[in-house]
Amino acid sequence: MMPERTLAMAGVTHSMLMAHLLSDGNEAAAILICAPSPGPRQRLVVRQAILVPHEACPVRKPDAIVWPGVYIEDAIDIAEPDGFVIILLHSHPGGWLRFSHIDNESDARVIPGLFEAFGSCHGSAIITPEGAIRARLYAPDMTWQPVDLVTIAGDNISYWWNDCINNIVPAGRPLAFTSAMTKELSRLSAAVIGVSGTGSIAAEQVARLGFGSVTLIDSDKIEKKNLNRILNSTTEDAQRVRPKVEMFAAAIAAHRGDGIAVSIADTLGTREAIEAVGQCDLIFCCVDSKEGRQYADLIASAFLIPLFDVGVTIPTFLDEGTVTIADVSGRIDYIQPGGSTLSDRGVYTQESLRAEYLQRTDSAAFRDELAAGYIKGIHEEAPSVITLNMRASSALVNEFVARAYPYRQEPNRNYARVVFSLAACEEDHYSEDDFERTENALLGRGATEPLLGLPLFRKTRKDAA
């Protein structure tokens, strides 16, 4: 069953909470300020964590804690203006991952005070030394529902399911490439942005791996010239000028059944597309535009969604007047919330975004650039690049598998970026620590208006209706 209520947290936030809440064997406390995501799923993202100082707590024992209400007042001051959700978090150093009767009594005393201040949803949570988090959300009448899934996206991606938790120690993670992995993926949702050369291959893998929901976003239509590199496309699709996402959604339905694929025949630069991706658990970005990558980057930050981005290129040079291939290469970037962004890594810049926009306003030049999108320096209508795309797309999806079901012999942190050269028969990788990280004001913003912090996407009266 797909989760109805989820909580997403950046790995850097989780590490900070672990260091504070599980430092000395006694219970400790923190307050999570959470932003909502667009519906229909109730998806909360941790915007800020307030750490309650150990010395401020009158009582701290291995099985008990008392902490002053002034920190809750601070949390209300922060959360109320934007209608955020407050979740009260404390540790269980003994590893017990269930709410005790003491926890229940504490919530009964404290949570009503939050509702008196503002809001229609607040909650509580516990964390154990294994890093597992269990949370629940209250309504104003103090009835509560469990948070079905807590996702921690750091160097590794951890999923803590409410219905897979034992009394003391969380259930073990599935092994990579097994049916247990497939079973878990059937409860997760993935967005594939761009369903063309690399994107159609990524979408095929995502669907056949068993993801419970696959959101496809692409504004283009099938043409005869791209039949040689878009999986599942046919001559009939090209004759009908069929939208790529419509074609691929039908292909997924043919082997998975209806209800798995969600198709949006538009660019990512629309409110509908942004809100749909903001509901997902993962993003696979397979576009060839700077603007598309920028939007994917912003969504990943705002909604704390792990982002996997792929790019391929075949640069050329002139050798005594003859065009010669310089390289056949690919790049895979893993962007974790709270880490370096695609912007930080120079995948797009303000200058490149502006140049792309200016080029797009010159339709003739834009058509030429699209035609030469793979092989730089050659006008090629139908480049025969499916082998390169297969190599890159496979590496893209395997990067996700390595993060969620670790199998590498080295820490995943060392593989924030992977690049390969088919011409040189080489592969290299870069650590998250190799990239400078700038301050990210968008982190954990969720669906706060204006969407993505951009006035362009501010909700109108028509949207509200």
Beta bridge partners of 48: 33
**Would you state the pLDDT for residue 436?**
96
- Token couple for 362: 């010159």
- Where do the domains of the chain lie? 5-164, 179-464
Whether the CB-CB separation of 94 and 132 falls below 8 Å is answered with no
Whole-angstrom distance, CA of residue 275 vs CA of residue 449 = 12
Task: Please choose, from the candidates 344, 82, 43, the residue with its C-alpha nearest in 3D space to the C-alpha of residue 189.
Answer: 43
Residues 184, 186, 188, CA angle at the centre, nearest 5°? 80
With a CB cutoff of 8 Å and minimum separation 6, the contacts of 269 are 291, 292, 295
**Would you state the pLDDT for residue 165?**
58
**Would you state the pLDDT for residue 362?**
74
How many angstroms separate the Cα of 260 from the Cα of each of 145, 194, 232, 393? 26, 17, 17, 21
- pLDDT averaged per 10 residues in sequence order, the chain, 465 residues: 96 98 97 94 97 97 95 98 98 94 96 97 97 97 98 98 63 88 97 97 98 98 95 97 98 97 96 96 96 97 98 90 91 98 96 83 60 61 87 98 97 98 97 97 96 89 56
With a CB cutoff of 8 Å and minimum separation 6, the contacts of 247 are 222, 232, 233, 237
179-464: CATH topology is Rossmann fold (3.40.50)
**Would you state the pLDDT for residue 167?**
40
Provide the residue count of the chain. 465
Taking the whole predicted model, whether its pTM rises above 0.75 is answered as yes
Where do the H-state alpha helices sit in 9-82?
A: 11-21, 70-79
Q: Does domain 5-164 have CATH number 3.40.50.1820?
A: no
